[in-house]
Amino acid sequence: MRQLPSPSSLGQLRPNQCWKYGVPPVGNANFAWVQHFIHHLAPNGVAGFVLANGSMSSTTSGEGEIRKRIVEADLVECMVALPGQLFYTTQIPVCLWFLARKKTRPLHTLFIDARKLGRLTDRVHRELTEEDLSRIFGTYHAWRGDPGAEQLYADVPGFCKSTSVERSVNTASFSLQDATLALKLPTKTRKRLKTSYNGLSARWTRPSLSQHG
């Protein structure tokens, strides 16, 4: 598991053999690092890293197209939405990306919504407990069918869902955040979200989730 460096500018970008899925924007290095990890993955390798939630839905400066190509290449094995306030330097919520060169479940992706896990240690900081971490990673390993997994995988409404790659993204924007947020929304709202959504909009964030529980 790796926390990527801050998404600072790379300056004058030059063609790089790692950037198979598209040249990342000059002002944000997120997808430069993502593609760097993909390029160096072993044939059976898995990479996990932390990124801001915007990485799941941004369409700025070609990022949406890069994400689309990564999804279409069937590299995205699991996405985990985490709560905010986990870091001392920022309170923004982040997500975990797990990419695999050879997925244990081809053409399927696991989505985990862990935004309500954790406990406050003070007014502005939250931490995930050992129980929370065991639940998240136990679910992931069970879904993969890894040796030693302590449980069999099953979808849990509001927490995790395994879905086909074709259904896991909003095809208009290839937003992975759509699928994560939709875990808690009623069927009619999910359909409306999929047909009208074109990148994450403020009107689909906390008000919608709190309204529908």
For residue 62, give the CATH number of its domain.
Answer: 3.40.50.150
In Å, the largest CA–CA distance within the chain is: 49
Residue 195 lies in a domain: no
What is residue 21's predicted lDDT score, i.e. its pLDDT? 93
Strand partners, 162: 110
Residue 63 lies in a domain: yes
pLDDT average, residue stretch 180-185: 51
Residue 190 lies in a domain: no
pLDDT average, residue stretch 70-84: 92
% the chain with pLDDT above 70:
71
pLDDT band at 208 (very low <50, low <70, confident <90, very high): very low
Quote the domain boundaries for residue 142: 2-167
- Integer angstrom CA distances of residue 47 from 19, 129, 142, 152, 207: 16, 23, 17, 23, 33
What six digits make up the tokens of 201? 């909009």
Residue 147 lies in a domain: yes
Please say whether the dihedral angle defined by the alpha carbons of residues 156, 71, 210 and 124, taken in this order, is positive or negative.
positive
The torsion angles phi and psi of 44, rounded to 5 degrees, stand at -110, 20
- What is the value of pTM for the model shown? 0.76
Residue 46 lies in a domain: yes
Decide the pairing of beta strands 119-120 and 126-127: antiparallel
Task: Using the predicted structure, report yes or no on whether residue 186 has a pLDDT greater than 60.
Answer: no
What is residue 169's predicted lDDT score, i.e. its pLDDT? 60
The number of folded domains in the chain is: 1
What is residue 168's predicted lDDT score, i.e. its pLDDT? 58
